[in-house]
Structure formats: C-alpha cells, structure tokens
Amino acid sequence: MSRIIKRLSALLVTLLAMFMVAPTAMADMNGIDVSGWQPANITRQVQADFAVVKVTQNTGSVNTVWRAQAQGALDTGKKLGLYHYAGGNNATDEANHFINHARSYVNRAILVLDWESYQNSAWGNGNWVREFVQRIHTLTGVWPMVYVQASGIWQIPSDVRARCGLWVAQYASNAATGWQTRPWKYGAYGEAMRQYTPNGRLPGYNGPLDLNVFRGEA
C-alpha cells in the first residue's frame, strides 16, 4: 500500500506541475477536450478550467485549427493539454510527428496519448504504448498521460502506468449533462483524470462536448 501511495503522490506532483498550479492547489478541475470537429474559437467560447486539444493523428494527419484552439485556451486562462490520436503505425514515427508540431508548447501543456480502438491498427498492443511514451520522454523530458476507455486499461503496461497518469473514459449514459463533480465510478481506477460524457452541454457552444474532471486528490 505504501508503494501505491508514493506512486500516486509522485504522479500528483508531476501532473500539477504540468497544469502549472502550485502543489498546494489540490482541487478538482473541470475541462473539455476538443478536435477539428469543433470550431477554432471553441476554447474561447466555453468556460472551463482546462482544455485538451487534438494536434495530430497517425503519422500524417494534423488538426488544422489546433493552434487557434490551444492559444485560445491559454489566452482565456485555461490550463492546456495537447493530444495525439494513435493510428497504429510505427510508434516512434507517430511520437515524432506529434512533437514536430507540439514542441513549442512543451512545458506549457500536458502531453497525451489518445489510445482508442477506432482507426488504430495496434489496438491491444501494450508494447506500442510503451514505445510511444518512451519516445515522447526522450524528445521532451516529460511523460505523457494516456487516455483509454475503462475496458482497455489492461492494455497499458504496468511500467507505463507507474510513469504516466491515466485519463479514463467511462460513461454512465449518453444523456446530455453539464459538469459533474463526482461522475459514475469516479476514481475507481486510480485515474488522474476521468472523461464521463461525450454529450456535455455548456453555455457558449450549441453542440455536444466531451466533459472531464481532473482529480486533484488522485
């Protein structure tokens, strides 16, 4: 148990540093994640504590509005995250592609691997995840978070979990909802962050949003 506590404590300090808040500020934070499906000004329109923006996918795809979305988050006082959507090609090449675009935001944003089954030919291969996060660390000196659905956590190797915070997606339903302070199964997986709906509804945007809570006490 003491090893688990020490590991979670170290993870919390790392995540709080990446979110650019003092270690004493251990409150939960509410945030959105966005991609090219949302408008360039989405992070200016919606009030949130943080925004996580899709930058790249596979080895060639780029969200054409990611810089506007990222800068909008910073300009409006939000904490920022940037993510790469895994496509299942060579993990090192995908990590290089991500950092080639996101490098100027390293140490201003958390970095995230989005590990999903859709359009990901490496789904089920934990070694791919390990290679990707290790390459990110080599390039930047920081360990990225890993986004994964609850049913896919088993794919994330234990050594990766020890270094990288988990961002877990699990929904009680797809019903429209606003912010939730304690979503269904909150903290059940020791996750650093939880995505609890793909159908969030917030003032400032007339459409569905992914809603998340960063667990300040994780």
* Tens-digit pLDDT string for the chain (218 aa): 444 444 444 454 445 555 544 444 558 999 999 999 999 999 999 999 999 999 999 999 999 999 999 999 999 999 999 999 999 999 999 999 999 999 999 999 999 999 999 999 999 999 999 999 999 999 999 999 999 999 999 999 999 999 999 999 999 999 999 999 999 999 999 999 999 999 999 999 999 999 999 997 65
Residue 135 CA, distance from chain mean position:
17
Confidence (pLDDT) at 102: 98
Among candidate residues 164, 169, 163, the one with its CA nearest the CA of residue 146: 164
- Does residue 132 sit in helix, strand or coil? helix
Confidence (pLDDT) at 27: 83
Segment 41-72, tens digit of pLDDT: 999 999 999 999 999 999 999 999 999 999 99
Confidence (pLDDT) at 5: 42
CA distance 53 to 12: 21
Confidence (pLDDT) at 207: 97
Segment 6-28, tens digit of pLDDT: 444 445 444 555 554 444 455 89
Query: What backbone torsions phi and psi does residue 56 show, to the nearest 5 degrees?
Result: -140, 165
Q: Which domains does the chain have, with CATH numbers?
A: 2-214 (3.20.20.80)
Confidence (pLDDT) at 109: 98
Cβ neighbourhood burial of 82 (10 Å; 0-12, 13-18, 19+): buried
This prediction has a pTM of 0.88
Cβ neighbourhood burial of 138 (10 Å; 0-12, 13-18, 19+): exposed
- Does residue 196 sit in helix, strand or coil? strand
115-127 residues labelled b (16+ CB within 10 A) or e (exposed): beeeebebeebbe
